[in-house]
């Protein structure tokens, strides 16, 4: 009954929107090829012509979901910037996004290149954001230039993500975030 048959980019977007919808509503387990196809008003063939398997579709949908999440806060002091970024990431990782992330991580065992793509887009996990925050702190004289290393800069978000991935919780309390900042991150960057 469709007046005109959708093609190319139009159909691709419809599929992606359907997959992202399932992801948001039912988590990664809900992203089945049958469900996505039905929701997009198409069939599995159209999906398999674009993504080689369920995992690839899941990553693409996840990227659509968490897009536009990399703003760099500027509160005027390092502690405020770090807290704001962690809290923002905490919202992004909260249920169901945490489940989604965990589900995706596990499904990528055989596709390292897909996992790398996922890692790049992982919510606020990019080192560049953290280096930017630290660079401004260096400019204000809050920390020494030797702290400007990716491994050091991303410690806070790694610890936060660790809470999600290994504890399976749906949301990290603000106390934990403050603890990460005051007990670990700030002492570390000031000592480096």
Partner DNA sequence: TACCTAAGGTACTGTGTGTACCTTATTTGT
Partner DNA sequence: ACAAATAAGGTACACACAGTACCTTAGGTA
The residue among 32 and 192 lying less far from DNA, judged by its C-beta, is 32
Query: What sign for the dihedral angle of Cα 69, 170, 127, 145?
Result: positive
Stretch that binds DNA, among 47-55, 59-67, 123-131, 160-168 (CB under 7 A): 47-55
The residue among 43 and 170 lying less far from a second copy, judged by its C-beta, is 170
16 binds DNA (CB under 7 A): no
3-state secondary structure 19-78: HHHHHHHHCHHHCCHHHHHHHHCCCHHHHHCCCCCHHHHHHHHHHHHCCCCCCCCCCCCH
| Total chain residues near a second copy (CB under 8 A) | 38
Closest separation between CB of residue 49 and DNA, Å? 5
CA-CA distance, 20 to 97, in Å (whole number)? 11
173 binds a second copy (CB under 8 A): no
Closest CA to 147 of 119, 187, 181: 187
CA-CA distance, 166 to 164, in Å (whole number)? 6
Closest separation between CB of residue 41 and a second copy, Å? 28
Stretch that binds a second copy, among 5-13, 30-38, 56-64, 108-116 (CB under 8 A): 108-116
How far is residue 79 CA from its own chain's centroid? 22
Name residues contacting a second copy, limited to 25-64 (CB under 8 A): 27, 29
Residues that bind a second copy (CB under 8 A): 27, 29, 99, 102-103, 105-109, 112, 115-116, 119, 122, 125, 149, 151-152, 155, 158-159, 161-162, 165-169, 179-180, 183-184, 187-188, 190-192
């Amino acid at each position: 009954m469709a007046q005109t048959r959708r093609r190319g980019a139009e159909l691709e977007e419809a599929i992606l929107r359907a997959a992202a919808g399932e992801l948001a509503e039912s988590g990664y387990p809900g992203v089945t090829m049958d469900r996505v196809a039905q929701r997009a008003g198409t069939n599995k063939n159209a999906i398999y012509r674009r993504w080689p398997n369920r995992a690839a579709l899941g990553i693409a949908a996840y990227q659509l979901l968490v897009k536009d999440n990399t703003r760099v806060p500027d509160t005027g002091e390092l502690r405020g910037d770090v807290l704001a970024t962690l809290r923002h990431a905490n919202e992004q990782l909260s249920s169901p996004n945490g489940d989604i992330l965990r589900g995706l991580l596990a499904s990528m065992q055989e596709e390292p290149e897909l996992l790398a793509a996922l890692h790049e887009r992982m919510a606020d996990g990019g080192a560049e954001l953290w280096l930017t925050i630290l660079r401004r702190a260096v400019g204000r004289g809050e920390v020494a230039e030797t702290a400007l290393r990716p491994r050091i800069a991303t410690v806070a978000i790694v610890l936060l993500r660790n809470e999600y991935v290994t504890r399976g919780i749906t949301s990290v309390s603000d106390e934990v975030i403050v603890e990460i900042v005051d007990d670990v991150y700030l002492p570390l960057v000031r000592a480096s």
